[in-house]
Amino acid sequence: GQNIDQPTEMTATEGAIVQINCTYQTSGFNGLFWYQQHAGEAPTFLSYNVLDGLEEKGRFSSFLSRSKGYSYLLLKELQMKDSASYLCAVMDSNYQLIWGAGTKLIIKP
Amino acid sequence: SQTIHQWPATLVQPVGSPLSLECTVEGTSNPNLYWYRQAAGRGLQLLFYSVGIGQISSEVPQNLSASRPQDRQFILSSKKLLLSDSGFYLCAWSALAGGYNEQFFGPGTRLTVL
C-alpha cells in the first residue's frame, strides 16, 4: 500500500528553527510537495522536490532523499503566522497526489 | 491569472437530504479537476478526479457522485446525505499534462450533516 508519515503535532518558539519530517512509501515517485494549511482554510503550495537535495525559498527550505523515502521542511525565523498545518504529498506513478495527514505546528511567543 | 471558486462556503444539511456543491475555474483550459474531503484533523481524501468533460474517476465507493458538464465546472452531488459525509470539501485544479502537476485549491465548503 501507499503510506505517508508525518508527526501529528510540533511546537516551536517564535524566532527559532523547526524541521518537519515526512517519510513515504508509494507506487512510483514523480515528486514531493509541501503545502501549508491555516485552520479553516484551503492548502496553499509551498515547495516541490523531484531531485535529491535542498530547495530554498526564503525562510522555507525543503529537502528530499529518494533513496531513503524521506523529506523535510525547514522553517527558519519562525513567526506567529507560521502556526498552521503542513501537509506532505507525494505524486505517484499515475501522477496522483498521495497525502499525509499533516503536521500541526504551534508557535509560542 | 487562474482562479478557482467554490460555493457555498458553509452548509448545514439534515441526514437524508440531497447535496450539490459547485466548483468553477477561470483563466485556464482543459484542467484536471479534483474533489477532496478533509475530516477534522485529518489529511486530504481524494474523492473524484476528472481529466475532461464527462470523464470522472472515483477513488472511494460511497453515496457521493461527481459530474463535469463543462470544461471548467465540477459538481459534487449526493441524493441522500449521511452523518459521515460531514467534513471540509475542497475542489482543486491542475494543468492537464503529466509531470510536475501542482494542485491549486478553492476556498472549500464546510459541510455539517445533522
Q: Are strands A97-99 and A70-75 parallel, antiparallel or unpaired?
A: unpaired
**Closest chain A C-alpha to B66 CA, distance in angstroms:** 18
Q: Residue-wise pLDDT tens for chain A (109 aa)?
A: 789 999 999 999 999 999 999 999 998 999 999 999 999 899 999 999 999 999 999 999 999 999 999 999 999 999 999 999 999 999 988 888 889 999 999 999 9
Of B41, B101, B106, the CB nearest to A42: B106
Number of helical H runs and strand E runs in chain B: 0, 11
pLDDT digits (tens, 9 = 90+) for B34-52: 999 998 877 899 999 998 9
Q: Do A31 and B100 touch (CB under 8 A)?
A: yes
Q: Which of A5, A90, A99 to mutate to test the interface with B (most CBs of B within 10 A)?
A: A99
Most confident of A21-30, B55-64, B96-105: A21-30
Q: Please determine, for residue B96, whether its predicted confidence score (pLDDT) is greater than 70.
A: no
Please tell me the predicted confidence (pLDDT) of residue B59. 82
CA distance A101 to chain B (A): 4
Q: B47-73: buried (b, 16+ CB within 10 Å) or exposed (e) per residue?
A: bbbbeeeeebeeeeeeebebbbeeebe
Give the span between the Cα atoms of A107 and B44, in whole angstroms.
Answer: 23
Per-residue pLDDT, averaged over B50-73, amounts to: 90
Distance CA A50, CA A34 (A): 12
Q: Exposed, middle or buried by CB within 10 Å (0-12, 13-18, 19+), for A29?
A: middle
| Facing A101 at nearest CB: one of B42, B88, B100 | B42
- Three cell numbers written together for A67: 533513496
The pLDDT value given to residue B61: 64
Q: Do B44 and A31 touch (CB under 8 A)?
A: no
Sequence-separated (6 or more) residues with CB below 8 Å from residue B61 = none
Q: Using CA atoms, how far apart are residues A13 and B15, in angstroms rounded to an integer? A: 44
